Amino acid sequence: MKYGKAAIYYPPTLKNGQFPLLGQNRQFKFTSSKEIRIFPLIPASTATMLKQNGYETLFLDAINLRLSAEECTGKLDAFKPDVIIMETKAPLFGLHLKIAAELKAKYGAKIIFCGDHVSFFPEETLKSAAIDYVVTTGYYDFIITGLLDFLNGKISSMPGGVYFRENGTTANSGAIKDYDLDSAPFIDRDLTHWEKYGEAYLYKPAAYILSGRGCGGASANPSGLVSEKPGKCAFCIWQHALWGRAAKLRSAANFAEEVEILVKKYRVKEIFDDNESGGTWHEGWLKELYEELKKRKLLGKFYISSNARADALTEERCALLKKIGYRLLKVGLESANDKTLKIIQKDEDFAAIEKGIKTAKRYGFAVLLTTMVGYPWENEQDAENTYLKAKELMLYKTHFGDSMQSSIILPYPGTPLFIYAEKNGYLTGNASDYTLYDMEHDIVKGTFDNAAWCKKMWKIHLHPLFMFKSLITLRRLQDIKLAVTGMLSLLGHLKDYGE
Ligand code: SF4
């Protein structure tokens, strides 16, 4: 085969001792927290599909495996790739173009770029002679496999969603197909070093999974597996760039089969569903999942945690989630100000978010709240309101495992939020430089210190009442380990914001 060897490569990148949050991260920053190593699910699926289709595959995630440049060079030299696949994001785009040019010169490999930023800007990406193909959307595992099959003459036409150069201009292969998620092979966990990944708040061994692709939004129970009312939050780069503002789930049976492998073969204690809002938006799917897990005698054998929208957390659904074995729910609060929630098109007001979170907490779920600061239309009182409401929610029926994350809002180029910010004159001069979308630079205009508010949010974890309630509800031996890694991670995050 002319293109028989494919490397999926995250080059080693370090800035002042901090690692970039790239693969499987929607919001980019460099972090001092050593505990965050999120498993890049679609690249891992790409590696799996390529291997299954007969390609020799190297999965080289130098960032999360903490590999040095020398170690990577050694592995690439030994492997001699014909194709190199790189996921990139706006802040690393320039650096990755340079690295791609070096790799191309050295190995003569075809270079494929994928990820959110290049899905928005494929033509711009192809201005770099080093890049041969840009594969758009989040279905790049299916598309790249089809592309390699096409390049090797196994199929007669290039799959849709690919941008390339032709006769001195940019061309593309047309619309992407409606891929059947159940047709994807289960991720080859050994090939992709699953055991090296995890986060501070997950029981170990932990594994990541996708129940589907895209945020189902406020949907309740559609007749099929496709959301009728998908999420559309203006800042949510993956929902727009990767999923085309749509959402669909794998069948519950297919999902349960992969869970069974993780639990029985890999002895996984906790599984995190890192789909945009998990499968929690679809009550019918959850009911089927319960039956599937029961049939396989898996209930009570593992914990499952998931992203979720607050409006999905009704009494009925919480009862169902509990029966299935859900433990932790990662829920977006974003802001406690309805004006902001409206502008970012969250499709929920604060009262609905508060209600869902409180219901989940009453049912005993650990809740990980995500918040953001730095909205250019907010004043300091608005930031304070979000802080106070987040604190109140953190102190409401606190039990061990509750936590929160805070970040600075970033209108990534291509998102509806970027367009809104541009239209309203909110962008600073930094906005035209992709490298500055790293949460350390002001991309939108603000009248107060965003980093200070962000740090203040993180510090809610140190509130005496929160710490006391967390400690007295510590129930399991493994919680002690979680408490230590959680504290280390928190210190890393505080350092990120100048502590
Ligand atoms: S609810 Fe969350 S996952 Fe869904 S579109 Fe909004 S930010 Fe994205």
Could you write out the DSSP letters of every residue in 363-401? TT-EEEEEEEE--TT--HHHHHHHHHHHHHHHHTT--TT
pLDDT band, residue 495 (cuts 50/70/90): confident
pLDDT tens track for 155-190? 999 999 999 999 999 999 999 999 999 999 999 999
Q: Is the minimum distance from the CB of 122 to ligand 1 under 6 angstroms?
A: no
pLDDT at position 73, please?
98
pLDDT tens track for 56-103? 999 999 999 999 999 999 999 999 999 999 999 999 999 999 999 999
Q: Report DSSP letters for 167-203, one per residue.
A: TTEEEE--SPP---GGGSPPP-TTTTTGGG-B-TTS-
CATH number of the domain at 5-172, please?
A: 3.40.50.2300
pLDDT tens track for 278-316? 999 999 999 999 999 999 999 999 999 999 999 999 999
pLDDT at position 499, please?
63
- What average pLDDT does the segment 446-459 reach? 90
CA–CA distances in Å: residue 376 to residues 237, 336, 467: 18, 15, 32
Q: Nearest to residue 280, comparing CAs of 239, 220, 190?
A: 220
Q: Which atom of ligand 1 is nearest to the CA of 346?
A: 6
Residue to substitute in 215, 238, 341, 345 for testing ligand 1 pocket (most ligand atoms within 8 angstroms of CB): 215
| Ligand 1 center to 346 CA (angstroms) | 7
- Cα–Cα–Cα angle for 15, 20, 24, rounded to 5 degrees: 175
Q: Nearest to residue 277, comparing CAs of 159, 356, 359, 354?
A: 356
Q: Is the minimum distance from the CB of 236 to ligand 1 under 6 angstroms?
A: yes
Q: Is the minimum distance from the CB of 309 to ligand 1 under 6 angstroms?
A: yes
Element (H, E) at 102: helix 93-107
CA–CA distances in Å: residue 410 to residues 91, 375, 376: 11, 9, 10
Q: Is the minimum distance from the CB of 27 to ligand 1 under 6 angstroms?
A: no
Residue to substitute in 240, 309, 329 for testing ligand 1 pocket (most ligand atoms within 8 angstroms of CB): 309
Q: Is the minimum distance from the CB of 242 to ligand 1 under 6 angstroms?
A: no
Distance CA 312, CA 363 (A): 14
- Cα–Cα–Cα angle for 416, 377, 27, rounded to 5 degrees: 50
For the CA atoms of the chain, what is the radius of gyration? 22
Tokens 């980019």 found at? 28
pLDDT tens track for 413-422? 999 999 999 9
pLDDT tens track for 91-142? 999 999 999 999 999 999 999 999 999 999 999 999 999 999 999 999 999 9
Q: Which atom of ligand 1 is nearest to the CA of 217?
A: 4
Q: Is the minimum distance from the CB of 248 to ligand 1 under 6 angstroms?
A: no
Collapse the DSSP code of 256 into the 3-class scheme (helix H, G, I; strand E, B; otherwise coil) and give the result.
helix
Element (H, E) at 341: helix 338-343
> Is the CATH number 3.80.30.20 carried by domain 198-496?
yes
Q: Is the pLDDT of residue 30 over 80?
A: yes
Lowest model confidence (mean pLDDT) among 22-26, 48-52, 299-303 = 22-26
Residue to substitute in 25, 219, 276 for testing ligand 1 pocket (most ligand atoms within 8 angstroms of CB): 276
Q: Is the minimum distance from the CB of 110 to ligand 1 under 6 angstroms?
A: no
**How far from each other are the two terminal CA atoms of the chain, in whole angstroms?**
53
pLDDT at position 498, please?
65
- Cα–Cα–Cα angle for 49, 45, 13, rounded to 5 degrees: 120
Please classify residue 110 by burial: count the beta carbons closer than 10 Å to its beta carbon, then call 0-12 exposed, 13-18 middle and 19+ buried. buried
Q: Is the pLDDT of residue 24 over 90?
A: no
Contact 203, 271 (CB under 8 A): no
Residue to substitute in 236, 309, 372 for testing ligand 1 pocket (most ligand atoms within 8 angstroms of CB): 236
pLDDT at position 497, please?
66
**Mean residue pLDDT across the chain:** 95
Say how many C-beta atoms besides its own lie within 10 A of residue 362's C-beta: 12
Distance CA 244, CA 377 (A): 27
- Half-sphere exposure of 211 toward its Cβ, with a 13 Å CA cutoff? 28
Q: Is the minimum distance from the CB of 239 to ligand 1 under 6 angstroms?
A: yes
- Half-sphere exposure of 103 toward its Cβ, with a 13 Å CA cutoff? 34
Q: Report DSSP letters for 260-308, one per residue.
A: HHHHHTS--SEEEE-STTTTTT-HHHHHHHHHHHHHTT-TTSSEEEEEE
Q: Is the minimum distance from the CB of 233 to ligand 1 under 6 angstroms?
A: yes
Q: What residue segments make up the domains of the chain, in order of their start?
A: 5-172, 198-496
Residue to substitute in 239, 341, 347 for testing ligand 1 pocket (most ligand atoms within 8 angstroms of CB): 239
Express as a percent the part of the chain with pLDDT over 90. Answer: 86
Which protein residue has the closest C-alpha to ligand 1 atom 8?
236
Which amino acid is it at 339? K
pLDDT band, residue 492 (cuts 50/70/90): confident
Tokens 């799959």 found at? 159
Q: Is the minimum distance from the CB of 277 to ligand 1 under 6 angstroms?
A: yes
pLDDT band, residue 485 (cuts 50/70/90): confident
pLDDT tens track for 331-379? 999 999 999 999 999 999 999 999 999 999 999 999 999 999 999 999 9
Say how many C-beta atoms besides its own lie within 10 A of residue 244's C-beta: 17
Which protein residue has the closest C-alpha to ligand 1 atom 3?
276
Q: Which atom of ligand 1 is nearest to the CA of 276?
A: 3
Q: Is the pLDDT of residue 431 over 80?
A: yes
Q: Is the minimum distance from the CB of 407 to ligand 1 under 6 angstroms?
A: no
180: Cβ contacts below 8 Å, ≥ 6 apart: none
